[in-house]
Amino acid sequence: TQIENDIKENLQKDNKEEKIDNIEKIKEAINLKSKIDLQAQSANVEEIIETFSNQYNVDSDFIKAIIQQESGFNSNATSKKGAMGLMQLMPETAKSLGISDAYNPNENIEGGIKYLKGLLDRFDNNKELALAAYNAGPNAVKKYGGVPPYKETQNYVRSILSNYL
């Protein structure tokens, strides 16, 4: 790449100040490239969210609030419990949704939205109950007849709904 060539060329120079100046320029170029890559990735994630939100008829802002809470929009996120990717899908859930790479934003977002749509349908489009089921599992919501009395789940639901609204 051009950056590698610049580094090699820079190493061959004798003038110390010129080397330092060039190193600073290379660092700036790398930082700029990283920012551009992040912006492109972010735009791509937005596009993926819109596509699958429309396909499954789920509000894209609701999905964004979930992704913000779940992974902070980090497609490589992994939780202590093993949840993966942007929408933090558990391995068994990902497998049941036919996802082969849960860190692939396209697969993860489609799978997460598809799973959430099933929960919304199951709980009569009640976002609070669907979120509780997404976090604690549908059986816990059914068992308690509402949001389970788990601090984590209660905070999870409250936080997402607050960000969404």
Residues designated catalytic: 70
Q: What is the greatest pairwise CA distance in the chain?
A: 74
Using an 8 Å Cβ cutoff, are 66 and 80 in contact?
A: no
The residues near 47 (Cβ < 8 Å, ≥ 6 apart) are: none
Assigned token pair, 56: 């499954």
Question: Residue 102 and residue 109: Cα distance in Å, rounded?
Answer: 9
Using an 8 Å Cβ cutoff, are 102 and 148 in contact?
A: no
Question: Residue 123 and residue 117: Cα distance in Å, rounded?
Answer: 10
